[in-house]
Amino acid sequence: MTNLSPVTVAPPRGRSGWRSMLPRWSPKLGVGLVLIVLITLIGVVGPLLVGDPSTIRDIGLTTPGGEFWLGTTLTGQDVVAQLAHATRGSLYIGLLVGVMATALSALFGIVGSYVGGYVDEGFNLFSNVMLVIPGLPLVIVISAFVPADQRGSWTIAVVLAITGWAASARVLRAQTLSLRNRDYVAAAKVSGEKPWRVITVEILPNLLPLLASQFVFSVIYAILSEAGLSFLGLGASNSSTLGTMLYYAQNGFALQREAWWWFVPPGLIIALLGCGLALVNFSIDEIINPKLRDIPRRDKAEAARTPDPVPRPDDDVVLTVTDLSVVYQVDKPVHAVKDVSITLRRGEILGLAGESGCGKTTLAYAINRLHRPPAEVTTGSVTFHDREGGDIDVLALTPGELRAFRWSKLSMVFQGAMNALNPVISIRAQLDDVLTTHRPEMTKAQRRARCEEVLKLVGVDVRRLSSFPHELSGGMRQRVMIAMALLLDPQVMIMDEPTTALDVVVQRGILREILRLRDEIGFAVLFITHDLPLLLELADRIAVMKEGEVVEYRAAQDMFEHPEHPYTRQLLDSFPSLTGERGSFVRSGEQTPPVDRSGEPTPSGGVR
Amino acid sequence: MTTLEARELVKDFHVRVGLRRVRLRAVDNVSFTLTPGRTVALVGESGSGKSTIARMIARLEKPSAGSITVTGPDGRKVPERQYRDNVQMVFQDPFASLNPFHTIEHHLARPLKLHGKPHGWEDVVQLLERVSLPGRDIAGRRPHELSGGQRQRVAIARALAPGAKVVVADEPVSMLDVSIRLGVLNLMARLQREEDLAVLYITHDLATARHFSDDILVLYKGRVVERGPADEVILNPQHPYTKILASAAPNPEARGRAVEIDPADVERAGAAAAYDHNTGAWEEVTA
């Protein structure tokens, strides 16, 4: 339910629709745009300002300066004038190819994968065939086949488009395959939309950033390939592009004559244009995958915290969290965890209940120091009281110490952890890997024995060790993840919604294992879930969180019988009793008071 | 009086295992009738075929065998072309079922238009107000600006837009925060009463199934194992699988109990004959 990854916690507000399709401003984007705009100006405005590029003068190979500030060619043509016209020619071909290749890839990639069946198989086979044919040789063959006098810019553009669309089609196909299974596409079908409308209105807009980046990619490809072709003398006749400039420079032995002003400027423009387009593409990629964004790390605020480890209150306590606050330092700082104090005793199951966005996952991450910028611990301390004596101030650990601390003293089972197993590595190798990293002194036989031992502990057949994750059921994979968290015999285990994605019968089996392990091994569990009835049955004590604060913190039995905080009561009321009275769960069709009190966040309100 | 009758529905999927094609029966001989003003709950775990049944009724999948017929108020079968005027669906995940690119107005105006209803701004606002949302404020927004509960209300409004009389709700509250589930379920109950809707409520949660439906069908591996009035099925379960399901649900009143569930027992229980509370009889498993 709470799919709260630290990076996406604060969705940018107000960036909607078309605006969210635009890349965010960044230095990369700025530099890229400046480069592209400058070069486009050279290509568009330049030819109007310079003279005829083909005028032949008898001042061959003049060095730059004076009237010809980039010198002249062997036949006395002005390099500046040639450069302006060549840039225009290259941009023209780049745009032509970009449009044609994107259209082709959209046709084969999007339509094919949406229609499915044989059409998709056919289109996909065709794109694959086009993909494995090496591009440049094919281009050379095709353009050599066309007589030189008929080889105009359009011919070259068509040839380049035909050879350059396949990779984009593959990318678009993969994305469309995922989009066509989205519920909103199904919903559009159910409301009776026609297939072409589903493609153009529901799917296509969501592909725009991808199409844009594929377009930019094909422009780069076209400009570079055209330059290559022209350099080989296979380019468009009667047209001047950056490639033809290089071709003539090569034929005029510019390199041997050290006439750098003849071949460096066109080469530089190709390189800078490619660079600018690539930088813009990075920014477009960040729309598709926001995780690529750089989040500035602010070290000073982290250091400002005064570490004050709490002395061990008594031997029974294993983890003390005092006044912990975590703030997401985004434009408008979000106080995700506010002054939370909890203690965890040995062999205790402490439940942490709350709804999505209440900060429970952020708290768990902060205890383990897994929070990443923009999240910051602003106040408070986390103290681990080791079984062997000694207290560890978790927030003050160096990265090396932290690595040793995590997993061996305190391990974590993540939300949806069963999907965190590597699908191509066997269970044994993945368990073994933890041991080789943390316990390098163990022999192979010892490691093997330990792996078998933990698997037995969580009730999975030892023969499953050589299986791969996809061969196990969801419940089985979750058990393997718990086994992995047990490997190093930790004193504390944090479990973040470990059973949320599982069926009740499977969940029951895992809960039984957790209780049994707690009794046998005596570790302490911090069990995070939104399911309060589950905690009431399972946990010893429960902390209820709301909007970053712990609103009620007491023994489970107590909480069930006499919930004090109105929010706790409201949560309890939200779960109907299976066999008991209906309570507030009467199918009245009326808006009952608890709903109004829940106060569905008003649109303008804070974090959801 | 629009009713929907599903008779002996079967859905087979073909899966490739190596070079062989294996038939996987997702739904096996399921029959039920949805009548106006009544809610039928389909209860089962993941893989029990309940979503497949929903998708077949919404015409997103074709049944391998069996029939789904909608009978209009005039007692005649509704022709295929008007099927979607009568049957609509509410999807499970309100974060996935609204297109992030389009405004709320688009989501409601399109179905209104497609089914030949007035589809101006005012009509959309009215529709939003029927699901207790501030229509004027919300119609121009995009899905990511709304909370989960608000989105699901929009999804319900979309299902009502064509004037459907049969609504399939596939786990409509399982993705929502617990404190707003009750509100959404009650909204559906209110609309059902106002419109005399026939509702198929699909859920894995026995408790809400009991409180929000009239009849319950318990599914296991595509087969109905127990059916009957809601309270009967939950309070007095006859089938061993239903009993296992009921005992596995969290129960704060039974702290410290030891529930041992052996997967083999579940398998065995699921294979038993089906029990029908209405006839009070066990029905033999048909091969």
**What 3-state class would DSSP assign to A320?**
strand
Of B111, B210, B252, the CB nearest to A191: B111
Contacts of B91 in chain A (CB under 8 A): 183, 186-187
CB contact under 8 A, B249 and A504: yes
Confidence of residue A306 (pLDDT cuts 50, 70, 90): low
Is A184 in the B-facing interface, judged by CB distances under 8 Å? yes
Q: How far apart are CA A104 and CA A123, in angstroms?
A: 11
Of A186, A503, A601, the CB nearest to B91: A186
CA A541 vs. chain centroid, Å, equals 36
Is B14 in the A-facing interface, judged by CB distances under 8 Å? no
Question: Which residues is B214 bridged to in the sheet?
Answer: none
Give per-residue pLDDT as tens, A478-535: 888 888 888 888 888 998 888 877 788 878 888 888 888 888 888 899 999 888 888 8
Structure tokens at A547: 């909007």
Is A570 in the B-facing interface, judged by CB distances under 8 Å? yes
Structure tokens at A418: 């069963």
Of B91, B190, B252, the CB nearest to A533: B252
CB contact under 8 A, B138 and A603: yes
What pLDDT sits at residue A293? Answer: 63
**What 3-state class would DSSP assign to A510?**
helix
Give per-residue pLDDT as tens, A195-245: 888 888 888 888 888 888 889 889 988 888 888 888 887 777 777 888 888
Structure tokens at A425: 């590595």
What pLDDT sits at residue B167? Answer: 93
- Whether B31 and B57 have beta carbons less than 8 Å apart is answered as no
In total, chain A counts a number of residues equal to 608
Least confident window among A310-319, A339-348, A594-603, B41-50: A594-603
CB contact under 8 A, A600 and B180: yes
b/e A112-146 (16+ beta carbons within 10 angstroms → b): bbbeeeeebeebbeebeebeeeebeeebeebbeeb
Which residue in A has a C-alpha nearest to residue B204's C-alpha?
A503
Start-to-end CA distance of chain B, whole Å, equals 35
Contacts of B189 in chain A (CB under 8 A): 587-589
What pLDDT sits at residue A593? Answer: 38
- DSSP annotation of B119 reads -
Q: Say yes or no to pLDDT of A605 above 60.
A: no
Q: Is the peptide bond before A373 cis (omega within 30 degrees of 0)?
A: no
Q: How far apart are CA B156 and CA B64, in angstroms?
A: 29
What pLDDT sits at residue A150? Answer: 73
Give per-residue pLDDT as tens, A148-199: 777 777 888 888 888 888 888 988 998 888 888 888 888 898 888 888 888 8
Q: What percent of chain A has pLDDT over 70?
A: 86
Instruction: For residues A398-422, give the mean pLDDT.
Output: 82
- Whether B98 and B155 have beta carbons less than 8 Å apart is answered as yes
b/e A362-385 (16+ beta carbons within 10 angstroms → b): bbbbbbbbbbebbbbbbbbbbbbb
3-state helix, strand, coil in chain B (%, to 5): 35, 25, 35
Q: What percent of chain A has pLDDT over 90?
A: 5
Q: To the nearest whole angstrom, how far is the Cα of B68 from the nearest Cα of chain A? A: 16
Q: To the nearest whole angstrom, how far is the Cα of A357 from the nearest Cα of chain B? A: 10
What pLDDT sits at residue A118? Answer: 86
Q: How far apart are CA B34 and CA B87, in angstroms?
A: 11
Determine which of B179, B206, B214, B234 to mutate to test the interface with A (most A C-beta atoms within 10 Å).
Answer: B179
What pLDDT sits at residue A282? Answer: 83
A60: which residues sit within 8 A by CB, 6+ positions away?
A72, A73, A74, A75, A76
- DSSP annotation of B171 reads S
What pLDDT sits at residue B285? Answer: 59
- Closest by CA position to B205, among listed B175, B179, B232, B228: B175
What pLDDT sits at residue A100? Answer: 93
CB contact under 8 A, A536 and B255: yes
The verdict on pTM exceeding 0.90 is: no
Q: How far apart are CA B241 and CA B237, in angstroms?
A: 9
- Closest by CA position to A384, among listed A416, A408, A350: A408
Is A601 in the B-facing interface, judged by CB distances under 8 Å? yes
Contacts of B190 in chain A (CB under 8 A): 589-590
A21 backbone dihedrals φ, ψ, rounded to 5°: -85, -15
Contacts of B185 in chain A (CB under 8 A): 587
Q: Among residues 141-170 of chain B, which lie with CB inside 8 Å of chain A?
A: 141-142, 144-150, 155, 158, 161-162
Is A153 in the B-facing interface, judged by CB distances under 8 Å? no
Q: How far apart are CA A145 and CA A164, in angstroms?
A: 18
What pLDDT sits at residue B228? Answer: 92
CB contact under 8 A, A507 and B204: no
A383: left (phi > 0), else alpha (psi -120 to 50), else beta?
beta
Is B177 in the A-facing interface, judged by CB distances under 8 Å? yes
Angstrom distances, CA of residue A158 to CA of A154, A162, A573, A582 = 6, 6, 67, 71
Is B111 in the A-facing interface, judged by CB distances under 8 Å? yes
Angstrom distances, CA of residue A392 to CA of A387, A399, A400, A455 = 11, 14, 14, 30
Of B103, B179, B260, the CB nearest to A355: B179
Of A189, A508, A584, the CB nearest to B261: A508
Contacts of B233 in chain A (CB under 8 A): none
What pLDDT sits at residue A597? Answer: 35
| pLDDT tens-digit profile, chain B (287 residues) | 789 999 999 998 887 776 778 888 889 889 999 999 999 999 988 778 888 999 999 998 899 999 999 998 888 888 888 888 899 999 988 888 898 888 899 999 999 998 888 888 899 999 999 888 888 888 888 888 888 889 999 999 999 888 889 999 998 888 888 888 888 898 899 999 888 999 999 998 888 888 889 999 999 888 899 999 988 898 888 888 888 888 888 877 777 666 677 777 777 777 778 888 888 888 765 54
Contacts of B178 in chain A (CB under 8 A): 355, 530-532, 571, 574-575
For tokens 């087979």, what's the residue? B12
Q: To the nearest whole angstrom, how far is the Cα of A325 from the nearest Cα of chain B? A: 24
What pLDDT sits at residue A599? Answer: 38
Q: How far apart are CA A320 and CA A280, in angstroms?
A: 48
Is A537 in the B-facing interface, judged by CB distances under 8 Å? yes
Contacts of A562 in chain B (CB under 8 A): none
CB contact under 8 A, A579 and B235: yes
Q: To the nearest whole angstrom, how far is the Cα of B188 from the nearest Cα of chain A? A: 7
Q: How far apart are CA B128 and CA A181, in angstroms?
A: 27
CB contact under 8 A, B252 and A530: no
CB contact under 8 A, A574 and B182: yes
H/E segment holding residue B40: strand B39-43
Q: How far apart are CA B142 and CA A15, in angstroms?
A: 10
Q: To the nearest whole angstrom, how far is the Cα of A506 from the nearest Cα of chain B? A: 9
Contacts of B100 in chain A (CB under 8 A): 206
- CB pairs A-B closer than 8 Å: 199
What pLDDT sits at residue B95? Answer: 82
Is A544 in the B-facing interface, judged by CB distances under 8 Å? no
Spell out the long-range contacts of B145-149 with Cβ–Cβ below 8 A and sequence spacing 24 or more: B145/A13, B145/A16, B145/A603, B146/A603, B146/B104, B147/A600, B147/A601, B147/A603, B147/A608, B147/B180, B148/A356, B148/A608, B148/B94, B148/B95, B148/B175, B148/B176, B148/B177, B148/B180, B149/A600, B149/B176, B149/B177, B149/B180, B149/B183, B149/B184
- Whether A373 and A296 have beta carbons less than 8 Å apart is answered as yes
- Closest by CA position to A409, among listed A517, A524, A492: A492
Give per-residue pLDDT as tens, A341-386: 888 888 899 999 888 878 888 888 888 888 887 788 888 888 888 8
Contacts of B266 in chain A (CB under 8 A): 505
Per-residue HEC secondary structure of A243-272 comes to: HHHHHHHHHCCCCCCCCHHHHHHHHHHHHH
